[in-house]
């Protein structure tokens, strides 16, 4: 299952050979560890157009809390901020340490001239961004009454996704649309950290609203209970570990056949094991009964595949996929909201897949079930927040190194691994970190989002 090609290209002869042959050049990604929790380098804060002064002030405040030192700018103003001028953004590569992160505030871009500022701001610095560094572009919501603003703001998506495809060296590029910087603090901290190593080419909307800052940003889920379905192994196991790291009491749910692994994991994490088949008609009621104290975070991770082309797919390969991946997600969500088990301030994170967004040959059942998850999230999110104070979001993993993908035939597996901007598969922990950001108490303004954890896969990009 190990990615031998990635190890090979990490050596000098490997680098030489693959460059000569024009083969993909994956960079070893820098992920979070307790010893190295922050990116290595500085933060360069650039501005294009004229942002709202309150937003700009709030943003400077939030960025000062990311743990990244401001870059020394050759030109421009305070704290590494290079402020846009009347005619455009200031230019000039930063002096000193290469920036590990560049934040471009383009919320004030309202026309094509403003897009010129985006070019002027990033063109001189993009080369200097450190390996495994981050470019985060900030945009505004599209203005329905101003088609010039809407055109310019939509243009930022094409810009972000194109830069993500060319930037290389393990660097990522994402766009966040926001109107209030403090509501986006958990999102900016996540994107500007090693936790988002495999998230690139994404557009994330953060609503206005009050964010509840945790008492301790290192243990934001302290005092909260999280339930993860399908947690005995694979991505679910990593999600359970990550939520426990963040302070949650984790309930490890899996089928009775996986009881041994579920119990061992729960014990390691100081959590609880709960064995039941999530497709049982009364699964929601049984979960509610097992959690008399209530639940804060519900992670729908359990999933199965039964691949076959539609012409060869009997109903008994169709229905289990629909039952596990979609019907049980709908049923248990309804039951846990209706019973009040999910408390106000709660979080639901469902697991979609890029196969549900782009489609995949041999996966009409799986693709349909995962697209259904996206529909569930988009429809329920505003109502769940208004009626229950609970957010609903989805992660959509791409190629993740697990037993599921280890079972794919070699050549298809190798293509799946390389066909993304980072030229490698993701790890279960990458999905787990994105899930933990959604689950964060300060992510209350992140709702109805479907975020791909796919290294900017070419599938459906
Ligand atoms: N691995 C990938 O590349 C990838 C890509 C996209 C999406 N996903 C999705 O991520 C999720 C986790 O995938 P994984 O690769 O870790 O899978 P996995 O097969 O390794 O683990 C799935 C877990 O779910 C449990 N499970 C299955 N049916 C269940 C049921 N009826 N009740 C309770 N538990 C049940 C299994 O016992 C297992 O422990 C799935 O929803 C999957 O569709 C994975």
Does one domain contain both 193 and 150?
Answer: yes
Instruction: Kindly state whether residue 141 falls inside one of the protein's structural domains.
Output: yes
pLDDT in tens, the chain (461 residues): 578 878 777 777 777 777 766 777 789 999 999 999 999 899 999 999 999 999 999 999 999 999 899 996 543 333 344 544 333 344 455 556 789 999 999 999 999 999 999 999 999 999 999 999 999 999 999 999 999 999 999 999 999 999 999 999 999 999 999 999 999 999 999 999 999 999 999 999 999 987 789 999 999 999 999 999 999 999 999 999 999 999 999 999 999 999 999 999 999 999 999 999 999 999 999 999 999 999 999 999 999 999 999 999 999 999 999 999 999 999 999 999 999 999 999 999 999 999 999 999 999 999 999 999 999 999 999 999 999 999 999 999 999 999 878 888 888 888 889 999 999 999 999 999 999 999 999 999 999 999 999 999 988 75
**CATH code at position 64:** 3.40.50.720
**Do 224 and 390 contact (CB within 8 A), yes or no?**
no
**Which two three-digit tokens encode residue 397?**
């993993």
- Burial of 191-207, coded b for 16+ CB within 10 Å and e otherwise, reads bbbbbbbbbbbbbbbbb
Protein residue closest via CA to atom 21 of ligand 1: 234
**Do 455 and 198 contact (CB within 8 A), yes or no?**
yes
Tokens 């994991």, located at residue: 265
Q: 108 alpha carbon to ligand 1 midpoint, in Å? A: 42
Does one domain contain both 105 and 141?
Answer: yes
Instruction: Kindly state whether residue 328 falls inside one of the protein's structural domains.
Output: yes
Does one domain contain both 146 and 281?
Answer: no
d(CA 364, CA 374): 15
d(CA 448, CA 384): 10
277 lines ligand 1 (CB under 6 A): yes
Q: What is the pLDDT of residue 258?
A: 98
Does one domain contain both 185 and 61?
Answer: yes
**Do 448 and 421 contact (CB within 8 A), yes or no?**
no
Active site residue 366: yes
367 lines ligand 1 (CB under 6 A): no
d(CA 250, CA 348): 14
In terms of DSSP bridges, do strands 203-205 and 272-275 run parallel, antiparallel, or are they unpaired?
A: unpaired
- Choose the catalytic residue: 366, 399, 437, 438: 366
Protein residue closest via CA to atom 25 of ligand 1: 230
Q: 238 alpha carbon to ligand 1 midpoint, in Å? A: 12
Q: What is the pLDDT of residue 3?
A: 80
Q: What is the pLDDT of residue 1?
A: 56
Does one domain contain both 244 and 200?
Answer: no
Q: Measured from the CA of 328, which atom of ligand 1 is nearest? A: 31
Does one domain contain both 74 and 117?
Answer: yes
Instruction: Kindly state whether residue 14 falls inside one of the protein's structural domains.
Output: no
> Considering 177, 205, 233, which residue would you say is the last residue of a domain?
205
235 lines ligand 1 (CB under 6 A): yes
Does one domain contain both 168 and 89?
Answer: yes
Does one domain contain both 50 and 184?
Answer: yes
Does one domain contain both 360 and 257?
Answer: yes
Q: 325 alpha carbon to ligand 1 midpoint, in Å? A: 9
Question: DSSP for 303-332?
Answer: -----B-GGG--HHHHHHHHIIIIIHHHHH
Which pTM does this prediction carry? 0.94
Q: What is the pLDDT of residue 82?
A: 54
Q: What is the pLDDT of residue 241?
A: 98
Q: 129 alpha carbon to ligand 1 midpoint, in Å? A: 36
Does one domain contain both 250 and 134?
Answer: no
Angle between helices 283-290 and 328-338 (to 10 degrees): 40
Q: What is the pLDDT of residue 274?
A: 98
* Three-state secondary structure call for residue 420: strand
192 lines ligand 1 (CB under 6 A): no
**Do 242 and 265 contact (CB within 8 A), yes or no?**
no
Q: 149 alpha carbon to ligand 1 midpoint, in Å? A: 42
Does one domain contain both 318 and 290?
Answer: yes
Domain that holds residue 139: 31-205
Instruction: Kindly state whether residue 144 falls inside one of the protein's structural domains.
Output: yes
> Considering 176, 205, 234, which residue would you say is the last residue of a domain?
205
Count structural domains, the chain.
2
Our mutation pick for probing the ligand 1 site, out of 1, 198, 229, 230, counting the most ligand atoms within 8 A of Cβ, is 230
Instruction: Kindly state whether residue 293 falls inside one of the protein's structural domains.
Output: yes
């Amino acid at each position: 299952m190990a990615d031998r090609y990635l190890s090979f290209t990490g050596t000098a002869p490997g680098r030489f050979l693959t460059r000569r042959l024009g083969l993909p050049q994956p960079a070893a990604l820098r992920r979070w560890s307790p010893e190295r929790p922050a990116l290595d380098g500085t933060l360069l804060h650039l501005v294009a157009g004229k942002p709202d002064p309150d937003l700009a002030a709030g943003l400077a405040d939030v960025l000062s809390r990311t743990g990244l030192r401001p870059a020394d700018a050759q030109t421009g103003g305070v704290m590494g901020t290079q402020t846009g001028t009347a005619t455009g953004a200031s230019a000039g590569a930063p002096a000193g340490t290469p920036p590990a992160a560049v934040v471009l505030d383009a919320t004030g871009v309202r026309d094509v001239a403003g897009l010129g500022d985006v070019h002027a701001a990033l063109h001189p610095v993009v080369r200097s961004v450190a390996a495994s560094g981050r470019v985060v572009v900030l945009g505004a919501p599209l203005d329905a009454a101003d088609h010039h603003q809407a055109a310019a703001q939509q243009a930022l998506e094409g810009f972000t996704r194109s830069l993500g495809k060319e930037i290389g060296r393990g660097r990522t590029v994402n766009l966040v649309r926001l109107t209030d910087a403090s509501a986006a603090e958990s999102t900016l901290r996540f994107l500007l950290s090693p936790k988002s190593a495999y998230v690139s080419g994404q557009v994330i909307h953060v609503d206005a609203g009050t964010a509840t800052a945790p008492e301790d940003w290192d243990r934001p889920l302290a005092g909260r209970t999280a339930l993860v379905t399908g947690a005995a192994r694979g991505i679910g196991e990593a999600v359970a570990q990550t939520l426990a790291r963040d302070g949650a009491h984790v309930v490890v749910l899996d089928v009775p056949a996986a009881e041994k692994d579920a119990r061992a994991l729960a014990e390691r994490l100081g959590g609880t094991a709960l064995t039941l088949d999530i497709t049982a008609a009364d699964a929601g009621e049984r979960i509610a009964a097992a959690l008399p104290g209530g639940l804060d975070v519900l992670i729908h991770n359990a999933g199965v595949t039964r691949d076959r082309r539609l012409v060869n797919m009997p109903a008994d390969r169709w229905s289990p996929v629909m039952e596990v991946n979609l019907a049980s997600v709908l049923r248990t969500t309804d039951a846990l909201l209706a019973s009040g088990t999910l408390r106000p301030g709660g979080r639901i994170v469902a697991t979609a897949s890029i196969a549900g967004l782009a489609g995949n040959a041999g996966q009409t059942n799986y693709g349909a079930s995962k697209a259904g998850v996206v529909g569930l999230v988009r429809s329920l999110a505003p109502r769940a927040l208004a009626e229950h104070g609970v957010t609903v979001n989805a992660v959509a993993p791409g190629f993740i190194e697990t037993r599921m993908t280890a079972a794919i035939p070699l050549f298809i597996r190798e293509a799946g691994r390389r066909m993304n901007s980072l030229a490698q598969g993701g790890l279960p922990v990458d999905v787990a970190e994105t899930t933990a950001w959604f689950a964060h108490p300060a992510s209350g303004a992140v709702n109805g989002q479907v975020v791909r954890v796919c290294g900017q896969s070419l599938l459906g990009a």
